[in-house]
Amino acid sequence: MESCTHVFQISGIKTKDKKRALVQGILQLGGKYIGGSVYHYGSTHLIIPQVLSSEKFLAACAAGKWVVTPGYVLDSVKNGSWLPEGPYEVTISTGSTAAFYPARQWREKVSSGRLKGAFQGWRVLLMVQEPTRRAMFKRLLNAGMAKVYHCPLPSHASITHVMAKPVTENSKSHNAPCYPVSHIVQHLFGQSNHVEKNFHMTEDHPTETEARFVDVDFSNLEAEIKNCVIKQEGQPRLCFLEFLGYHDPYRPQSQATETDFSNAGSMIECGLFIEALESIRSAVFPGLLPPAPYLISLLEYAQQGSATSVFLRNFQQVMDKLLLTNPPWLAPSSVKKYFTQVLQCPQCKSGLWPFLETAIRYCLSSEVTCHPLPGPALPTLLHFHCGILALALKLFQGELHSVTAGDFMLPKGTRVSPASGSLLYGTFWTVWERSTLLSSAVKQLAQLLIQAAMEDYAERDEKQKLHLADTLLDLLSVLVEFWCQQHFKLNQILVEKGLKDLSEHLAVISQDVAPVVLVELVVRVRSTRLKLMMADAIFRSLCCKNGVTMGDEPLSLKKMVLSYLPVLGSLAQSPSGTRLRTGPTSNSCTSQGTNCRTQNSLVTETSAEKENIPRGLNRVNAAGETLLHRACKRNQVETVLQILALPGTDVNVKDHAGWTPLHEACNHGSTQCVEALLHHRPAPVLINQVGGVSPLHDALLNGHMDIAKMLLEHAGSVLLRQTDNDGRVPLDLVPAPSQREELLHSAQVGDSTLKNTVTEVSNLPLLEAGSSLLAHLIFSYQQERGLPGHTQPGDKPRSLVCKMVRALETHSFQKVTLGWTDQRAVRMVEDVETLLELGQGKHQGQVSQAVRECRGENTQFLMEILEDLRSRGEALVADL
In-domain check, residue 593: no
Average pLDDT over residues 696-718: 90
Asked if 355 and 441 touch (Cβ cutoff 8 Å), the reply is no
Asked if 785 and 831 touch (Cβ cutoff 8 Å), the reply is yes
Give dist(CA 713, CA 627) in Å, integer. 27
- Planar angle of CA 101, 105, 109, nearest 5 degrees: 150
In-domain check, residue 164: yes
Q: For residue 774, report the phi and psi dihedrals to the nearest 5 degrees.
A: -70, -35
pLDDT-derived band at 340 (thresholds 50, 70, 90) equals confident
141 and 102 housed in the same domain: no
Flag whether pLDDT at 520 surpasses 60.
yes
Give dist(CA 195, CA 543) in Å, integer. 50
The better pLDDT of the pair 816, 257 is held by: 816
The better pLDDT of the pair 674, 256 is held by: 674
Out of 51-55, 596-600, 770-774, pick the least confident.
Answer: 596-600
212 and 321 housed in the same domain: no
Average pLDDT over residues 192-198: 41
Average pLDDT over residues 411-421: 51
Beta strands in 91-146 (DSSP E): 92-93, 99-100, 123-128
97 and 152 housed in the same domain: no
pLDDT-derived band at 201 (thresholds 50, 70, 90) equals very low
Per-residue pLDDT tens digits for 214-245: 345 677 888 888 888 888 777 777 777 666 54
Residue 594 has a pLDDT of: 36
Flag whether pLDDT at 287 surpasses 80.
no
Per-residue pLDDT tens digits for 38-50: 888 889 999 998 8
The percent of residues above 90 in pLDDT, for the chain, comes to 12
With residues binned 3-state (H G I as helix, E B as strand, rest as coil), the percentages for the chain, rounded to 5, are 55, 5, 40
This prediction's pTM: 0.60
Asked if 254 and 287 touch (Cβ cutoff 8 Å), the reply is no
CA-closest candidate to residue 324, choices 227, 407, 248, 229:
248
107 and 171 housed in the same domain: no
375 and 397 housed in the same domain: yes
In-domain check, residue 649: no
In-domain check, residue 12: yes
Residue 490 has a pLDDT of: 74
Residue 242 has a pLDDT of: 63
| CATH code, 43 | 3.40.50.10190
- The total number of residues shown for the chain amounts to 880
Average pLDDT over residues 652-664: 87
How many domains in the chain?
4
What's the mean per-residue pLDDT of the chain?
78
pLDDT-derived band at 773 (thresholds 50, 70, 90) equals very high
In-domain check, residue 803: yes
286 and 423 housed in the same domain: yes
Q: For residue 179, report the phi and psi dihedrals to the nearest 5 degrees.
A: -130, 150
Out of 6-15, 468-477, 719-728, pick the least confident.
Answer: 719-728
**Residue that terminates a domain, selected from 428, 454, 474:** 428
Query: Which three-class secondary structure state does DSSP give residue 148?
Result: strand
| CATH code, 136 | 3.40.50
Q: What string of DSSP letters covers 404-442?
A: HT----PPTT--PPPGGGSHHHHHH--TTTTT-SS-HHH
Give dist(CA 73, CA 599) in Å, integer. 53
The DSSP 8-state label assigned to residue 211 in this structure reads G
Residue 475 has a pLDDT of: 93
Give dist(CA 544, CA 571) in Å, integer. 10
Give dist(CA 644, CA 880) in Å, integer. 54
Asked if 397 and 480 touch (Cβ cutoff 8 Å), the reply is no
Give dist(CA 74, CA 611) in Å, integer. 52
The better pLDDT of the pair 791, 8 is held by: 8
- Planar angle of CA 207, 208, 212, nearest 5 degrees: 100
Average pLDDT over residues 73-96: 80
275 and 421 housed in the same domain: yes
CB atoms within 10 A of CB 267: 19
127 and 55 housed in the same domain: no
Flag whether pLDDT at 686 surpasses 90.
no
In-domain check, residue 46: yes
**Residue that terminates a domain, selected from 50, 84, 111:** 111
CA-closest candidate to residue 770, choices 527, 594, 508, 516:
516
Asked if 568 and 561 touch (Cβ cutoff 8 Å), the reply is no
Flag whether pLDDT at 795 surpasses 60.
no
Per-residue pLDDT tens digits for 521-562: 898 888 888 899 899 989 988 887 776 666 667 888 888 888
Give dist(CA 539, CA 773) in Å, integer. 6
277 and 424 housed in the same domain: yes
85 and 140 housed in the same domain: no
Query: Which three-class secondary structure state does DSSP give residue 93?
Result: strand
Residue 595 has a pLDDT of: 36
Average pLDDT over residues 775-802: 71
| Domain containing residue 380 | 271-428
Residue 548 has a pLDDT of: 66
89 and 151 housed in the same domain: no
123 DSSP β-pair partners: 147
In-domain check, residue 788: yes
**Residue that terminates a domain, selected from 68, 87, 111:** 111
95 and 193 housed in the same domain: no
In-domain check, residue 654: no
